[in-house]
Structure formats: structure tokens, C-alpha cells
């Protein structure tokens, strides 16, 4: 009922103005549809013609250049990461623990970008140790969390790494992730006794 238009004939034989307006709207809509279809087709044609310029096959020389450029960028980033580690070690030797830890974190980011996750883990552990030396509790906790995310689900970290993870748990007041043995057991038990005393 709402979709149909009933043409009323006036006494003079002309159509009702409401019907004329409805007809004009229909005509305008049909023109807009045609314009939209034309614009869509034009955009699609331009997009396809734009892509066709980039779809040509690469020559062997272009492929070699691309690979060489990627290798060069990878090598440059690796060099930057190694230089950052060297500088961090220099700061460590001079007692600049805070700056050294920041540099180790930068190196960890670079190694992560390169996909060298073992090196990234080592840099994070070095940063965590220096953060402990300069009493950066919050930074230490964040660094250990970052390190833990890199661990495989079934992977057993080294003794040093387990100690740092357990220490992080202890600082947060959580149960220790790994069993504690040897001298570490004495350290954690002493701390527990101190906390229990009023």
C-alpha cells in the first residue's frame, strides 16, 4: 500500500501535484543510481589501472637488489644492537647501572625486531639484574614480565632466570613459580620470616 502511487486526475485533466512530486523523486533517485554506478565503475577502473602498473614481473637484478637491501638493513640493525650491548657493558663496568639497564632494554627491542629471541632474552635478563642493583623495583618487575612472555610453555629457564622470576613473584606477594633449592631457599625463607614478624 505504501509503495504504490495512485494518480488522481483533477477536473482539468492534469495529474495531482503530489503525484508529480513523487514521480520527480523517483526520477531523481534513478538518476542518482545511474551516477553512483558510473562513479563506482570509474573508481574500479582507476584502481585496476593503477595496480596494473605495479603488477609487472621483477627482473632477477631487481630481486637481488631487494634482497641485498633487506640484508643490509638487517645487518645494520644487528650492528646497532651489538653496539648498544657493548655500551651497556661499559656503563655497567663504570657503575652506571641505571643507564646500563636502559641500554640493555634498547638492545632487547632491537633483537626482538630482528627475531633474535634468544639474544632478546639475554638482554632482558641483563637489564633486570642491573635494575636490581640500582633498586628500580617497578622497572625490574616489568622487565621480568617481558622476559616471561618470551618463555616457551614447556621451557625450563636457567637457574639465574628462575631466581629472577621467583624474586619477582616474591615481590608481588605471589607463590613462587619454581621450586627453590640450595642457597636461594635460605634467602627466600629468611625474607618470609621477616615478613611474618609483627
Query: Is residue 148 in a domain?
Result: yes
Query: Is residue 120 in a domain?
Result: yes
Query: Is residue 128 in a domain?
Result: yes
pLDDT given for residue 58 in this prediction = 67
The count of domains in the chain is 1
Using one digit for the tens of pLDDT, what is the confidence trace for 74-119? 888 889 999 999 999 999 999 999 999 999 999 999 999 999 999 9
CB atoms within 10 A of CB 157: 19
Query: Is residue 50 in a domain?
Result: no
pLDDT given for residue 181 in this prediction = 76
CB atoms within 10 A of CB 10: 9
Query: Is residue 1 in a domain?
Result: no
Contact 126, 104 (CB under 8 A): yes
Cα–chain-centroid distance for residue 81?
Answer: 19
**What's the CATH number where 97 sits?**
1.25.40
Using one digit for the tens of pLDDT, what is the confidence trace for 5-61? 444 444 444 444 334 334 445 555 555 566 656 556 555 555 555 555 555 676 777
Q: What are phi and psi of 15, to 5 degrees?
A: -80, 160
Range of the domain at 109: 86-173
pLDDT given for residue 73 in this prediction = 84
Instruction: Report angle CA 78, 158, 114 to the nearest 5 degrees.
Output: 15
Q: What are phi and psi of 9, to 5 degrees?
A: -95, 125
Phi-psi region of 99 (alpha: psi -120 to 50; beta: other; left: phi over 0): alpha
3-class DSSP state of 135: coil
Q: Is the pLDDT of residue 138 over 80?
A: yes
Amino acid at each position: 500500500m505504501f509503495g504504490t502511487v495512485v494518480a488522481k486526475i483533477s477536473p482539468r485533466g492534469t495529474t495531482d501535484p503530489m503525484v508529480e512530486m513523487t514521480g520527480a523523486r523517483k526520477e531523481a533517485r534513478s538518476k542518482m543510481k545511474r551516477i553512483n554506478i558510473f562513479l563506482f565503475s570509474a573508481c574500479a577502473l582507476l584502481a585496476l589501472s593503477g595496480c596494473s602498473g605495479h603488477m609487472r614481473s621483477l627482473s632477477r637484478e631487481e630481486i637481488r637488489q631487494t634482497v641485498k637491501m633487506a640484508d643490509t638493513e638487517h645487518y645494520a640493525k644487528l650492528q646497532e644492537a651489538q653496539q648498544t650491548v657493548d655500551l651497556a657493558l661499559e656503563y655497567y663496568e663504570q657503575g652506571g647501572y641505571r643507564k646500563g639497564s636502559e641500554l640493555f632494554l634498547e638492545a632487547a627491542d632491537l633483537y626482538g625486531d630482528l627475531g633474535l629471541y634468544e639474544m632478546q632474552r639475554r638482554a632482558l635478563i641483563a637489564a633486570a639484574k642491573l635494575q636490581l642493583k640500582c633498586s628500580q623495583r617497578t622497572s625490574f618487575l616489568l622487565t621480568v614480565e617481558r622476559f616471561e612472555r618470551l618463555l616457551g610453555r614447556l621451557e625450563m629457564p636457567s637457574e639465574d632466570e628462575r631466581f629472577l622470576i621467583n624474586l619477582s613473584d616474591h615481590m608481588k606477594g605471589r607463590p613462587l613459580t619454581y621450586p627453590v633449592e640450595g642457597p636461594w631457599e635460605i634467602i627466600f625463607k629468611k625474607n618470609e620470616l621477616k615478613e611474618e614478624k609483627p
